[in-house]
């Protein structure tokens, strides 16, 4: 498993796509975004346009471990884009969209870690190379609202777990990837 992290618009996607394209012609791209509005539709379209047309794309964010066990074809590399979006989607689903001030984050975080553990297990058992993209959220000020603070904390702990088990970790800043593990 190779983890690629960095800030928003740091060039993570282009970096991971470049890493993969140099070594593999066949790729399964697992996109975790959901179409929620016109702005998100434009983001999704921009990401689709920058990927080679022959790469296979699956869209989903739940039970990615099962996708990685079942979907890759022989010789394919896998890209998961991105963990932060996956966490946001799962957190929203599991909370039922409830008022953040009423949420008990401990069981929500436990569920998110179960999903990540399933992903890690699948990556470790897979014979396919798996590249995972995530956002580094901890390089700014502490957010002012409860939901954002908990989300940054959860994402930080998930990223630490992923980095701990990854074979390689890349940090992308201003479009430049630096291998940190």
Give burial (CB, 10 Å; 0-12/13-18/19+) of 14: middle
Buried b vs exposed e over 34-43: b needs ≥16 C-beta within 10 Å?
eeeeeeeeee
CB 8 within 8 A of CB 135: yes
Q: Has 150 been annotated as catalytic? A: no
Cα torsion angle, 56, 129, 85, 181, sign: negative
Which residue of the set 47, 54, 113, 150 is catalytic?
A: 47
Question: Which residues are known to be catalytic?
Answer: 47
């Amino acid at each position: 498993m190779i983890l690629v992290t960095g800030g928003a618009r740091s060039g993570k996607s282009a970096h991971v796509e470049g890493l993969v394209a140099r070594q593999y012609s066949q790729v399964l791209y697992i996109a975790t975004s959901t179409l929620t509005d016109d702005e998100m539709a434009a983001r999704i379209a921009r990401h689709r346009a920058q990927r080679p047309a022959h790469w296979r794309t699956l869209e989903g964010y739940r039970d990615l471990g099962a996708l990685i066990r079942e979907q890759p074809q022989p010789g394919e590399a896998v890209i998961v884009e991105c963990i932060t979006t996956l966490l946001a989607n799962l957190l929203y689903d599991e909370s039922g969209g409830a008022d953040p001030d009423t949420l008990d984050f401990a069981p929500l975080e436990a569920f998110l870690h179960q999903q990540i553990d399933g992903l890690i297990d699948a990556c470790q058992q897979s014979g396919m190379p798996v590249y995972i993209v995530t956002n580094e959220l901890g390089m700014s000020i502490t957010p002012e609202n409860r939901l954002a603070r908990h989300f940054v904390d959860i994402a930080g702990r998930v990223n630490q777990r992923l980095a701990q088990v990854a074979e390689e970790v890349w940090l992308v800043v201003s479009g430049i990837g630096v291998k940190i593990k």
